[in-house]
A and B are shown apart, each in its own frame.
Chain A
Amino acid sequence: MRIFRFLLIVGLLLAAPIASVAAQETGVSSATIQVDGLSCPFCAYGLEKHLKKIAGVEGVEINMKSGKAIVRLKPNVQVDDAALKTAVKKAGFTARSITRP
């Protein structure tokens, strides 16, 4: 009985990280938008707000120097490129390209 309990605990401990990695691979994703025209910190706020308004967007990180907006998407939610481009346009900028890992 003790051996069985020990094996069960070991098995669960080993399975937990594997399950976590599997969840990341199947659910969590991101999109990187190259935003043209973004050259001022004060203007970046509008871009961040519009991207965060999209259903399925979990978070946004803007890199001012590279002009990239990295959009983290909620697990198992589809966000198409058109929605991202529309958000960038509403903020007053131009989405040059969108790449996904």
Chain B
Amino acid sequence: MMYWTWAVALLIGLIAYPGTPVAGPITFNSALPVAEGMSILRSQVKLTRKSGDTTPAGRVLNVTAAPVVLAYGASSKLALFGVLPYVDKRLDMTTGGTRIRRDAQGIGDALFFGRYTVIQVDKPGDTLRIAPFAGLKTPTGSHTQSDAFGLVPRILQPGSGSWDPFLGVALTRQTLDWEFDAAAKYRFNTEASGFTFGDEARADASFQYRIFPRTIENTGVPAFVYLVLESNLIWNGKNRSLGVTDPNSGGLTWNLAPGLQYVTDRFVLETAIQIPAIQNLNGTTLESDWVWTAGFRWNFFF
């Protein structure tokens, strides 16, 4: 069932390939160029709510994350990225007849990765790029925080404590009127302090269509407004604690994310809301209600 779903998602991505215009997707990475010597600062606020607990605990998880991304064009084909998030996680649950809150906040795990453009086909007002990427999630976030009830569960900790490599590939087709992006990524999660998060695989697609201006004047660089629709297919493996697999973890989620982007030559403003279309989760794993994302990008030269 899982492989079938992945195959359909990838097929849809390939069929839908007819393109994308500008500035890249909101919920994942594109293959668009970062000019040599140019930097892009990107920041987002992500609010996530998970609930649907089928146990008497009635768990509700709220996560606020604010990742800051710095991209640098080492050359016209090689771009380097660093991501440092701040996270605030709150879990409300009932235990012993009392409603309690467990929470943890702080700097999360930093990501570092490089992306290299291997295919570039440029035409007037049109480009196609394919760029593999690879990187490492580093344990900069704490995984040993405690609250009034003791050590906070690992899923609530700001960091995983582990060094987790990942790799993937991004495809972008961009024209003056629309843009299409697709990306596939796999992260190999490793063990830290007796706990291993399940691996993560995802396949993403994004279509952006310019709604303003309706026609482009034959002068200058106008600002564009894009209507965005994104798809995120995410599979998480089961967690393991001290060698024992947790049956109430991991599963498959397919999100659809409508959004808007305002794109100028210096900055981008964007927002999207990810709504789960399919959730096939293991055991009592909490279901995602929604993820709201808002952010900006700003490009500059040192």
Spell out A's residues near B (CB within 8 Å): 34, 36-50, 61-67, 89-94, 96
Contacts and interface: CB of A to CB of B under 8 A. Distances in A.
B23 A92 contact: no
B68 to A, nearest CB: 18
B230 interface: no
- Majority SS at the chain B contact face: loop
Contacts of B37: 50, 90
B289 interface: no
Interface residues of B, number: 44
17 contacts: A37-B123, A38-B125, A41-B221, A41-B222, A41-B264, A42-B265, A42-B267, A42-B268, A43-B32, A46-B299, A50-B36, A65-B217, A65-B219, A90-B37, A92-B73, A92-B117, A93-B122
Contacts of B34: 46, 92
Contacts of B179: 39-40
Nearest to A67: B124
Contacts of B246: none
B220 interface: yes
A36 B123 CA distance: 5
Contact of B265 (A41, A61, A90): A41
Contacts, number: 120
Interface in B34-75: 34-38, 73, 75
A63 B22 contact: no
A43 B219 CA distance: 16
B284 interface: no
A46 B263 contact: no
Given A42-B263, A46-B38, A49-B35, A64 B216 contact: yes
B266 interface: yes
Interface of B: 21-23, 32-38, 73, 75-77, 117, 120, 122-127, 174-176, 179, 216-224, 263-268, 297, 299, 301
A64 B22 CA distance: 12
B36 A41 contact: no
A5 B220 CA distance: 49
B120 A37 contact: yes
Given A46-B73, A49-B38, A41 B263 contact: yes
B107 to A, nearest CB: 28
A90 B127 CA distance: 16
Given A63-B218, A91-B35, A91-B36, A40 B301 contact: no
A39 B127 CA distance: 7
A89 B299 CA distance: 18
A47 B263 CA distance: 16
A39 B172 CA distance: 12
B301 to A, nearest CB: 6
A36 B122 contact: yes
Nearest to B264: A41
A63 B123 contact: no
Most chain B beta carbons < 10 A, residue from A44, A45, A93: A45
